[in-house]
Amino acid sequence: MSEQIYSIKNGAYLYIMGVLVAIFVLVQSGIFLVRAWKRGKEIGLSTEKMKAALVSSGTFSIVPSIPIVIALLTLAATLGVPFAWTRLTVIGSMIYETTAAGAVTEVAAISKDAMGMMDAQQLLQYDLSVFSATMWVMTVGILIGPIFMLFGLKRYQGKIRQMREKNTIWTEILISALFMGMIAALGSREIAKAGVNMLTVFTGAMIMLIFGVIIHLTKAKWLESFALPVSIVAALAASAGYAILIGVV
């Protein structure tokens, strides 16, 4: 990365926008948190119970945040710190942000090869145009959530409520099947890559299965809160081991 493009990617404009976006996200979350707390009081939940829920969900959000920090470090090398940080503040999905940035970079690398030699000014312009294309793709590629929330959430919630009233079991099965379909689609992509990716998916799944069997046999419901974070951390640790064993690193 040339010094000029590096200073633009890490410049004041992107930091200012990042701070504005972060403040917005924090204020919005704060408003919903306060409203939920007041609502909890209204429906008779005790302060102790809500504090316990707050502490446990806060604690369990630390582990899923680790991949986001890893993504920030990875993306910062090519996109600069402020934009990578801004993106991971908004939606915060490691898989999405790294895939989106990678897709544009791949296309740009092929185009750059086809363009041949460029002088310093042309190269700067080209790098800036690719960087702005990356920004647009990363921004627009995941807007379906907020757009749907704006226009369709209320109606969808009403439909789900109607369906539940008609046939609760069928609605639960439908929602679970869709969720499993999504997990299967994402998981199968990693399985198809074979090697470390495949072994990591199987390790995570096996640990979840062991937790499931223990919870089912011992009726230890409290273990449910630990199943996901422990599976993630153990699969992450195992992936490092697989990488060394297979000789990827």
Partner 1 sequence: MKKKTYMMSDYEYATHRIGRISTAMALPLIISVPLLFCVIYHVMPDRSALFQGALKIIPMFYAVGAIEIINYVPMLGAGG
Q: Rule CB under 8 A: choose which of 185, 192, 194, 217 binds partner 1.
A: 185
Question: Per CB under 8 A, which of residues 33..92 are in contact with partner 1?
Answer: 35-36, 39, 42, 83, 86, 90
Cβ proximity to partner 1, 6 vs 237, nearer residue = 6
Least distance to partner 1, CB of residue 223, Å: 20
Cβ proximity to partner 1, 36 vs 248, nearer residue = 36
Report d(CA 84, CA 74) in Å as an integer.
9
Q: Rule CB under 8 A: choose which of 104, 199, 207, 238 binds partner 1.
A: 104
Mention every residue, 6+ apart, whose C-beta is less than 8 A from residue 203.
234, 235, 238, 239
Residue 125 found at the interface with partner 1 (CB under 8 A): yes
Binding part of the chain for partner 1, among 14-22, 68-76, 197-205, 230-238 by CB under 8 A, reads 14-22
Least distance to partner 1, CB of residue 104, Å: 4
Least distance to partner 1, CB of residue 48, Å: 21
Report d(CA 130, CA 8) in Å as an integer.
13
Question: Per CB under 8 A, which of residues 131..170 are in contact with partner 1?
Answer: 132-137, 139-150, 153-158, 160-162, 164
State the number of binding residues for partner 1 (CB under 8 A): 67
Mention every residue, 6+ apart, whose C-beta is less than 8 A from residue 64.
229, 232
Q: Rule CB under 8 A: choose which of 6, 7, 20, 70 binds partner 1.
A: 20
Residue 4 found at the interface with partner 1 (CB under 8 A): no
Applying CB under 8 A, which residues contact partner 1?
8, 13-14, 17, 20-21, 24-25, 28, 31-32, 35-36, 39, 42, 83, 86, 90, 96, 99-100, 103-104, 107-108, 111, 125-126, 128-130, 132-137, 139-150, 153-158, 160-162, 164, 171, 175, 178-179, 181-182, 185-186
